Structure 1
Amino acid sequence: MTIRQPTHTPYDGSSKLFTIGLKPLEIERWIEVDEFLLPHLAEKQRLYADIPEKVFVEEADTRDAQSEVLALLSPHLIAKHPRSHCGTGSDVEVIGLATATDRLPPTLRNAPLARASLLVQEDLILMRRDERGWRLAAGSLCFPSSWSLQEKFGKPLQEIHAPVPGFGPGTRPAELINRMFDGLQGQTVERFNWSIQAGDALYHPLSNIQRIDRATNRPTRFADGDINAHAFMRVERQTLRKLPVSSDILFTIRIHLDPLKVLDAHPDRATLAASFVEQLLALDQQQLDYKGLTADRDRLVAFLNGIAGSA
């Protein structure tokens, strides 16, 4: 059986944790489509049906900007992903599925951002500028990485990032991020973030700090201790693109999940595992707690050292 290798490996040292790391992105690579498109969209549809208030928010005056998102996505998907998407103009569909509108609960069928979200695997967040900075004005977040859309709705970036070590209000990184958002014009940029989670759940809203190991009283991901069976690498590919009419910024988040153990079959497993270990060991206590890795780091390091040693 062929083992699927990770699409992105930012833990190779190219995207270090707790750094901004924005890089230019060719527009041709803006949206990613892979073999998980249909199951990911099915999971989004399930979440919309079960907990719509937790996965979609919008300010009342964002519908025009939401329509901009749909208008940008539609021709891009038709042109760049003709095997999975078809249509003309802004009328685009996923091949083999009902229209996005038909797959939404009635209360969201007129929300263009919700419709757009059922065309792609990415989550879609609209950021809007006011006197406080860039705030979360609307969003479809079906696959959160340990944060709550309802909790962050309406807040500016510095408050959204307040729990992140070194990125809270008044810090240099917080100021830099706001300046980068202000300076974003026609270009599209991307960055990567990554973490390790227990299990392969895409919907992952619970804060790491809420996962406490009873023995250490520290955040944990692997209460049962079975790294080989349950550890998954969660990679977030994030992009930023300013909308041409509203000047709002579209923030996309694409989640990639791979079992940690697949690294053992990677042709560069020794290099990847060694870099992974180096970055885990470089995290300080506050960063480990934020990532939920304090109680598990030593076990993860030992597991990865075993992969590196088998090369």
Structure 2
Amino acid sequence: MVEILQKKLPQEMLEERALPGVQPLGGADWLRLDEAYAAQMAHRRSLLATQRADVYWQDAGAHIAAREVLSEALKLLPGLGFEVSDTECRCPDGQVVPFDDDAPLVALGQLVQEDICILQKRGDEHVLTAACLCFPASWRLSEKVGRPLIGIHDTVPEYDAGIARRVQRLFDGVQVGRPMWRYNRLWYDDPDLFQPRSALSPRRIAPGEVEAAYQRAERQCIVRMPESGAVVFSIHSYVVKATQG
């Protein structure tokens, strides 16, 4: 068990909202750093080095979009304390990450706290075509790759046909430079950020789970790429002591 905690959740993630709870976001605010950066990045880099197949996947047709996502992220990183050159990036924790043209999301996954999922329109639906997902909250990347939005969320009871239509319209309508964001909050007794779990063995949620030791939250952003038109779904994970949520 790896315990990496933030002191508290951002204030904007404490408000109650009805699903899907999406709001507009400033164009450059889909990447953030917090006080857990160094510890989270050490965990991410270790997972990418030792369990890459569990945390990274890319469809052959998603390479151009993945390169664009890395390029767009690199434009924002100097404003967050990174030093970016043509071939590598020095992170706020002092680590230097070279760019990998074969696996752009692996490079990005070693730079930022956010997990990055790329969804591209295939027919009438957006499909998960690439992801660097080091911190799954009780789901398994291998079971979601290549699936449309409604298939990705088929284990979420609240994700009914009505919400599915609204989310698909959102992914269709999100505009370049005008991203959206939402959040969720979950209760856990285990603070580890890497919690893959098969849909065949779902996490049991006890009636008294609000008394669990930790609260886990995800800040999720939806961002349209300007050239490929792909949509990025980014996930910034927080874990706090339950009394600090």
Question: TM-score band, normalised by the shorter chain?
Answer: 0.7 to 0.9
Deviation at 1:113, TM superposition (A): 1.1
Q: Structure 1, residues 52-88: CA drift from partner, whole Å, max 9, x if none?
A: 111000001211111111111112010x212xx1124
Aligned to 1:162: 154
8 A contact 1:232–1:258 mirrored in 2: yes
Between the aligned residues of both structures, percent identity stands at 26
Bigger RCO of structures 1 and 2 (CA < 8 A, at least 6 apart): 2
Matches of 1:221 and 1:197, distance apart in 2: 10
Aligned to 1:196: 187
TM-score by length of 2: 0.87
Q: Structure 1, residues 197-244: CA drift from partner, whole Å, max 9, x if none?
A: 1121010122588367xxxxxx24699x994xx611111000011111
Establish whether residue 122 from structure 1 lines up as the match of residue 133 from structure 2.
Answer: no
Q: Structure 1, residues 269-305: CA drift from partner, whole Å, max 9, x if none?
A: xxxxxxxxxxxxxxxxxxxxxxxxxxxxxxxxxxxxx
Matches of 1:73 and 1:249, distance apart in 2: 13
Describe the shift of the 1:208–1:11 C-alpha distance in structure 2 as closer, same or farther (beyond 3 A).
Answer: farther
8 A contact 2:68–2:225 mirrored in 1: yes
Unmatched segments (≥5 aa) in structure 2:
1-5
Aligned to 1:177: 167
The DSSP-based 3-state class of the residue aligned with 1:257 is strand
Matched residue count: 239
State the one-letter code of the partner of 1:100.
Answer: V
Establish whether residue 239 from structure 1 lines up as the match of residue 239 from structure 2.
Answer: no
Matches of 1:254 and 1:238, distance apart in 2: 7
8 A contact 1:101–1:109 mirrored in 2: no
Q: Structure 2 matches for 1:247-258, cutoff 5 A?
A: 247-258=229-240
Q: Structure 2 matches for 1:10-89, cutoff 5 A?
A: 10-13=13-16, 15-16=17-18, 19-78=19-78, 80-82=79-81, 85-88=82-85
The structure richer in helix per residue is: 1
Unmatched segments (≥5 aa) in structure 1:
103-107, 213-218, 264-311
Runs of 4+ in 1 over 6 A off after TM superposition: none
Matches of 1:221 and 1:88, distance apart in 2: 49
State the one-letter code of the partner of 1:193.
Answer: N
Matches of 1:23 and 1:67, distance apart in 2: 27
Q: CA RMSD in A?
A: 2.7
Deviation at 1:9, TM superposition (A): 5.9
